[in-house]
Chains A and B, each alone.
Chain A
Amino acid sequence: MLSTMLRYLTTHWEYVGQLTAEHIRIVFLANGLAVVLGLALGIFISKRGREGLAELVLYVAGILLTVPSLALYGILMAILKALGLMSIGIVPVVVALTLYGLLPILRNTTTAVRGIDPAMIEAGRGMGMSETQILWRVRIPLAVPAIMAGLRQAIVMNVGIAAIGAYIGAGGLGQLIFRGIANTRADLVLVGALCVSLLAIGLDVALGVVERLSTPRGLRKGVRG
C-alpha cells in the first residue's frame, strides 16, 4: 500500500501540487473573508451595552458550526442559485468555509476585547482617551494574540472541511479522496487524506510562528528581564 502511494505521489506530484494549491487558495480566501467579517462584527458586538446582541451573534455562529458541511453546501447552492450566482464550484465552498471560520474568530475577538483589565480601560479613559481611541490603542492591540489564535484554529479546521468541497466541484485535495472512493482506490484516498493532514499540521505550525510574532513584545512570555 505504502509503495503504491509513493508511486502515485512520484508520478503525479505535479497534479497533487496543483490540488494542494487549489486547497490553500480556497481556505485562505474563506478565512481572509472570515477575519474581516469576524473582526468587524466582533468589535461591533463587544462594545459596552451590546452584551445581549453579542450573545445572540455568538449563539448563531455556534449553531452554524454544527450544520454538517455537505448540508451547508446544499443550502448555499440553493440560495446562490436563487440569487442568480454561481451555485457550484468554488463560490459556495468559500462562503461555507467563511461561515465556519467566523465562530472561532468572533468568539476570541469578543472575549479578548471585552476581557481587558477594567483598570487599564479606566486608566485610558481617565487620561482623556475617547472610546474609539481606547478601542484602537488599547483593546485591539491587547486582543491581537487571542484573535490570531482564533484565526489559526479557524484555518486548521477549514483545511479539513474544504476537502469535502471537491464534491460540489471546488477542486482541492478532496478530489483525490472522492476519486479514490469512486474507484475503490484506497491508495488515492490515503494520499488525499495524508496531504490534507500534512497541510493542516504545516499551517498550524506556520501560524503558530505568526501568532508569536504578531504578539506585542510587551505581552510575550518571558520578557521579564
Chain B
Amino acid sequence: MIELRDVTKVFPGGTQAVDGITLVVHEGEFCVLLGPSGCGKTTTLKMINRLVPLTSGTITVGGRDIQKLRATELRRRIGYAIQEIGLFPHMTVAQNIATVPRLLGWRKAKRRARVRELLGLLGLTPVDEFLRRYPAELSGGQRQRVGVARALGADPAILLMDEPFGAIDPITRERLQDEFLRIQREIRKTVVFVTHDIHEAIKLGDKIALMKEGRLIQHATPSQLLAQPADDFVRGFVGTDRTLKALRLTSVREIMDSGPLSVRDDDSLAAARRAMDRLERSFLPVVGEDGLFLGWVGRNSVLGPPSVCVGDRITPYAVLGSPDMPLNEALALMLESATGNLPVTDEDRRLVGLVSFDRLFESLRQIYVEREAGEGSP
C-alpha cells in the first residue's frame, strides 16, 4: 500500500509542482496518474521513490515512512520503469534485468533463474537468445518489455511506471498494454502508472487520479470518471465522447443475450419462418448440428418450398464477436457489418450469444442512470 498525505513539492526557484496531494493506492491496485503535461504527475511518482525530495507532507510505502528508509534501500524494493531510453546499452538483456537482484546481492544461480522466468513472462522467447542480446539489437517493443522485466527484477510489491509505453507505435503499444494487463492479473502488483493518454488510463487503471496544476482533481474508477466527471476540467479532459470511451470498460459477455434463439441448418424453411414470426425478427442465426455458427438467414430468403432446408439459404456472416471483446469494438463491428446484430462465438466458433443495438443502448442508458444517481450523492 502507498499512502500520500498532503504531499507538496516546491522546486528551488519557487515552482509549485505538486500542491497538497492526498492519495491512497491499495495493495494490488493499479493506479494511473493522469493529466496534461506539467500537471505534476511525474513529480508525484518520483517522490514515492525519493528521486524527487518532498517539500512537505508524508509518504508511506507498506506502512513505513519513506523518509526513514535509506533512499537506495527504498528504491531497491520498488520496481521502476521508464521509457526505453533507460536501458543500459553496454549491458546484455540478462544483465539489465538482473540489475536490482545484483544490487541486492542475490546469488548468480538465483539471478539467472529469475531472469529466465521474467523473459518467459514477458514473451521474450526463445529465452536463450534474448539473454545475450544488447538493447541495440532489439526492436522498440522488445526494449520496452525488457524495461518492464527489469522493473520486476527483484519481484517488488510495488511498481512505479513513468509513461513506459510512450515511445512506441500505437499498434505495439496496444499489444503491450494487453499483455501487461494479463501479467498484472497474474502478479497483482501495486502499480502507480503515469500517462497523459486518457485511453491508456481507462484501459489499464483500476483507479485514475486526474491531476491539474499540481492538484488532484478527481480520484475515481475509470467508469466513475467517465460517468461522473467532477468538474468542467475533468469533463473536458475525458472528452465529449466519454460515453463511447465508457463502452470500452464493459465486455460483450456482460451484456450479450446468451443462449440466443437460432435455427439449425437442417431445419426447413417453414420452421425458420415460423420462428421469425414468433420472435418478430427478420434475421436469425443459423447453427450446425454441433452448435457451430454458420451464418444468418433472413426473412426474404426463407420464402420457398418446404422441402428446402435453411442450410441452402444461409447468408454468410461478415463479422464475429468474442465474449471478452470490449463493447466499443463490438459496436464498431456492428456498424461495419450493418446487421444490427453481432454473433458472439467461443474459440471453437460455437454460437454463445448475440449483441444487438437494443442491448447496447440499454447498457449505455445504464451508464447515464448511474451518473444521475451519482450526482445526487455527495
Binding site for B on A (CB under 8 A): 117, 119-120, 122-130, 133, 137-138, 141-142, 216-219, 223-225
Contact = CB atoms under 8 A, between A and B. Distances in A.
Given A127-B100, A223-B137, A218 B51 contact: no
B75 interface: yes
A23 to B, nearest CB: 35
| Dominant secondary structure of chain A at its interface with chain B | helix
15 contacts: A119-B83, A119-B85, A119-B86, A120-B88, A126-B49, A126-B80, A127-B80, A128-B72, A128-B77, A129-B72, A137-B88, A138-B88, A142-B89, A142-B90, A224-B136
A122 B86 contact: yes
Interface string B40-76: 0000001001010000000000000000000111111
A126 B82 contact: yes
B83 to A, nearest CB: 7
Contacts of A129: 72, 99, 103
B237 interface: no
B166 to A, nearest CB: 12
Interface residues of B, number: 31
A219 B135 CA distance: 9
Contacts of B82: 119, 122-123, 126
Contacts of B160: 126
* B71, B83, B87, B136 — most chain A CB neighbours (10 Å): B136
Contacts of B88: 120, 123-124, 137-138
A3 to B, nearest CB: 53
B317 interface: no
B75 A126 contact: yes
A127 B76 contact: yes
A123 B134 CA distance: 17
A224 B49 CA distance: 34
B137 A130 contact: no
Interface string B135-171: 1110000000000001001000000100000000000
Contacts of B74: 128
A217 B92 CA distance: 9
B369 interface: no
Nearest to B45: A126
B91 interface: yes
Contacts of A117: 85
Contacts of B89: 120, 142, 216, 218-219
B136 A223 contact: yes
Nearest to A118: B85
B92 A218 contact: yes
Contact of A225 (B83, B86, B137): B137
